[in-house]
Structure 1
Amino acid sequence: MLQKRHVFLLLLVLMPLVWSGSLFASQEDASALVKRTADRMLTTLEARRGEAERNPSLIYGMIESIAAPHFDFERITQGAVGQYWRQATPAQQRQLVDGFKQVLVRTYARSLLSYSGQEIRYLPAKPGSRPNRVTVPTEVREAGAAPIPVDYRMFDNGSGWKVYDVVINNASLVGNYRSSFANEIRQNGIDGLIAKLDEMNRKGQE
């Protein structure tokens, strides 16, 4: 898995949650939107940190209601499963999306609780590879360590911007999982990966 993964996943939680205006306006304002949203998330967490540490499900609810609607979990899962996605039945595809979403949400919740004041630098947004895509670069700074570059890749599907990948030090979330998912599928098939995701989520509840 990726180094600094806890920071990687924490920042994914702190992505902009609401986007508006034209593509060019969104590109121009993206960094400010990211910062405002991150500040709001962290302020909320600090106000309820004691409750959340005693009952992590409070954070799950926060992510589900605020952040999750702005991630395209089907696109993220499809990218992570790669070439094997077309071999899965519609029912299997839904199980993969549901299972992977739960894994990510639980990991985000744990990472959010581990936040301890690292500085986040927000850089100007850049056009993506297509007209409906944009990349927001940021840096995570911690005393005594080199800045960690994190790029957020988003697309506009006609109803607003959604996250479809995150890249840290040139390593993508989707690409990272694609390797481990492919190994699991080669060994145990699509149902084996579904079972593995279920196992990860069961352990996360313990």
Structure 2
Amino acid sequence: MLKRLLVPFVSVFTVLAFTGTAQAQQATDASSPDALVKTVVNDVMASVRADKDMQAGNLGKITALVEQKILPNANFGKTTQIAMGRNWSKATPEQQKIITDEFKTLLIRTYAGAIAQIRDQQVQFRPYRGTAEDTDATIRTQVINKGEPIQMDYRLEKTAQGWKVYDINVLGAWLTEAYKGSFNTIVTQQGVDGVIKTLQDRNRQLANAKS
């Protein structure tokens, strides 16, 4: 079930969402979420285009890129909590940590495979009309891939450490909502431990496939 849900997100467009916030907090003022996303999306795409190893699928270099640019700047805890929905409160603190770690690993491995696909895509940003007082923002874009426009939106929250991405939207489907139904079904049938096992099994499959 989780494998089917990955299909809409295993693309270059998904990668841009979380990698998009990372380097901007090093390269530009993070007080504006749209400026942050614009700066970093362009920089990440240029970096991958210039690296033949990553384009060839060098997992070590891609994973290093993902870990350096995603982990400090994406709120995986919030992403996981939203995806779990009402079932989050059914999990113990230890289970919550395991689910967050496994879900994070799943997404990172997914993005690592997608980064190698970056080539000649172009990103168009729609006007952002937020204010300085906003603590939550949605940055709307579309990615032009071989002439076809693909909707790609980002949800960010403003924290003490700056803006963090916690959700992405591809073609009208938010990542957290796509996983919520799957997680709910698993909890209903197998309990919270069923989610942990499902994520661990999927991560194991991905690791074996790339070994």
Q: Answer yes or no: same fold by TM over 0.5.
A: yes
Give me the identity figure in percent: 31
**1:55 counterpart = 2:58:** yes
CA contact (8 A) 2:49 2:55 kept: no
**Structure 1 residues 25-174: aligned runs within 5 Å:** 26-27=32-33, 30-31=34-35, 33-50=36-53, 53=56, 55-127=58-130, 131-145=134-148, 147-174=149-176
Structure 2 portions without partners, runs of 5+: none
Helix, strand or coil at the partner of 2:167: strand
Structure 1 portions without partners, runs of 5+: none
The Cα of 1:54 is off from its aligned counterpart by: 5.6
CA contact (8 A) 1:139 1:148 kept: yes
- Aligned in 2, Cα 1:36/1:143: closer, same or farther, shift over 3 Å? same
Deviations 1:109-145 (A, max 9, x none): 11111223122112232439x8311111110112353
Deviations 1:12-44 (A, max 9, x none): 244232346585xx15xx24x323312322232
Q: Provide the rounded CA distance (Å) in 2 between the counterparts of 1:52 and 1:149.
A: 24
**TM-score, normalised relative to structure 1:** 0.86
Helix, strand or coil at the partner of 1:15: helix
- Aligned in 2, Cα 1:178/1:8: closer, same or farther, shift over 3 Å? farther
| Aligned alpha-carbon RMSD (Å) | 2.3
CA contact (8 A) 1:52 1:58 kept: no
CA contact (8 A) 2:126 2:141 kept: yes
Counting matched residue pairs gives 199
CA contact (8 A) 2:137 2:155 kept: yes
CA contact (8 A) 2:84 2:184 kept: yes
Helix, strand or coil at the partner of 1:125: coil
CA contact (8 A) 1:118 1:141 kept: yes
The Cα of 1:46 is off from its aligned counterpart by: 2.9
Larger deviation, residues 85-94 vs 38-47 = 38-47
